[in-house]
């Protein structure tokens, strides 16, 4: 049995290198890796082509990979959807995971998240906590983990089952701009289904903070968040009132993407 890990990259090659080094070192559960590059202008795609095949030769857990390179930046939600579409159509993985290209995960994170969900089906998604607060630690059915009573997990390192994907479909790529709130939207739809969210016991680390999160990119993310919130809050009300469908469909034919 394998999981499919999905990452979206856009420049910031130094962070991508650190994240992949950490991912390969600390992921022991068998996995496939799908990376969508959103039109990076640096050497990201060349690096991925070089490193992934080499890493797979010496890593027993790393089973297969796919790099999808777009000529332009399609936005984070479409990038995630391209990876998710590939994961559910190319691989038969029961488990799916998103990971950002600027994080560090603790050893055994993927297997632990899957183990928590297998023991506690009410928790439809378990991630790695990259926040600045640790949530209430609970022990249920022999598994100890952080239970998050409100909000979303974010997609920095989030694991969920194919069963949840069949209920929700894909990330909301029509209502938001190039960056942000697709993860909050996913989490809200999960909660409207009556399902729970949580984190594994061990904390993760967000590399892209502080001095590495300044300047034009930081300003872009802040403005995107501000622009998206009005739409997000409206969507939340409609989801809760069941005036808006929880399932979102997606096909690569909906966009002008270049597949590699």
* CA 60 to chain centroid: 23
> Which regions of 73-156 does DSSP assign to beta strands (E)?
95-99, 103-104, 123-129, 137-140, 143-148
pLDDT in tens, 139-157: 999 999 999 999 999 899 9
Q: Yes or no: is domain 3-248 CATH 3.40.50.11540?
A: no
Token code pair at residue 92: 């038969």
For residue 17, with 0-12 CB atoms within 10 Å meaning exposed, 13-18 middle and 19 or more buried, which class applies?
middle
Sequence ranges of the domains in the chain: 3-248
Over 70: is that where the pLDDT of 211 sits?
Answer: no
pTM (2 d.p.): 0.92
Over 90: is that where the pLDDT of 2 sits?
Answer: yes
The contacts of residue 177 (CB under 8 Å, 6+ apart) are 75, 224, 227, 228
Token code pair at residue 77: 């939600």
* DSSP sequence for 134-171: PPPEEEETTEEEEEE-SS---SSEEEEEHHHHHHHBS-
CA separation for the pair 135, 238 (Å, rounded): 28
Q: Taking the CA atoms of the chain, what radius of gyration do you get in angstroms?
A: 17
Over 70: is that where the pLDDT of 12 sits?
Answer: yes
Give the model's pLDDT for residue 179: 74
% pLDDT > 70, the chain: 92
101, 130 contact by CB (below 8 A)? no
Phi, psi of 192 (to 5 degrees): -65, -30
Give the model's pLDDT for residue 210: 60
180, 106 contact by CB (below 8 A)? no
Strand partners for 34:
6, 66
The model's confidence at residue 177, banded by pLDDT at 50, 70 and 90, is confident
Give the model's pLDDT for residue 226: 76
The dihedral region occupied by 39, where left means phi > 0, alpha psi between -120 and 50, and beta the remainder, is left
pLDDT in tens, 27-86: 999 999 999 999 999 999 999 999 999 999 989 999 999 999 999 889 899 999 999 999
61, 118 contact by CB (below 8 A)? no
The model's confidence at residue 1, banded by pLDDT at 50, 70 and 90, is confident
By C-alpha distance, which of 121, 102, 118 is closest to 194?
Answer: 121
Token code pair at residue 186: 């996913």
Give the model's pLDDT for residue 217: 60
């Amino acid at each position: 049995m394998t999981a499919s890990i999905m990452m979206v990259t856009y420049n910031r090659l130094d962070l991508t290198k650190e994240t992949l080094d950490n991912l390969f070192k600390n992921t022991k559960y068998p996995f496939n890796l799908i990376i969508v590059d959103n039109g990076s202008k640096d050497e990201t795609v060349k690096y991925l082509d070089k490193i992934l095949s080499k890493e797979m030769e010496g890593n027993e857990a790393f089973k297969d990979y796919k790099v999808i390179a777009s000529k332009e930046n399609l936005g984070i939600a479409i990038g995630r959807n391209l990876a998710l579409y590939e994961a559910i159509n190319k691989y038969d993985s029961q488990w799916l995971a998103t990971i950002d290209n600027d994080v560090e995960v603790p050893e055994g994170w993927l297997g632990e998240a899957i183990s928590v969900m297998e023991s506690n089906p009410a928790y439809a998604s378990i991630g790695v906590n990259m926040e600045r607060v640790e949530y209430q630690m609970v022990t249920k059915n022999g598994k100890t983990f952080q239970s998050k009573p409100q909000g979303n997990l974010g997609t920095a390192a989030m694991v969920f089952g194919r069963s949840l994907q069949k209920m929700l479909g894909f990330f909301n790529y029509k209502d938001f701009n190039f960056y942000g709130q697709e993860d909050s939207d996913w989490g809200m739809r999960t909660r409207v289904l009556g399902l729970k969210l949580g984190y594994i016991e061990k904390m993760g680390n967000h590399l892209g903070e502080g001095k590495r999160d300044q300047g034009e990119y930081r300003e872009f993310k802040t403005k995107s968040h501000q622009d998206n919130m009005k739409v997000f809050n409206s969507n939340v009300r409609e989801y809760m009132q069941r005036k808006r469908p929880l399932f979102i469909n997606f096909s690569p034919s909906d966009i002008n993407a270049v597949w590699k």
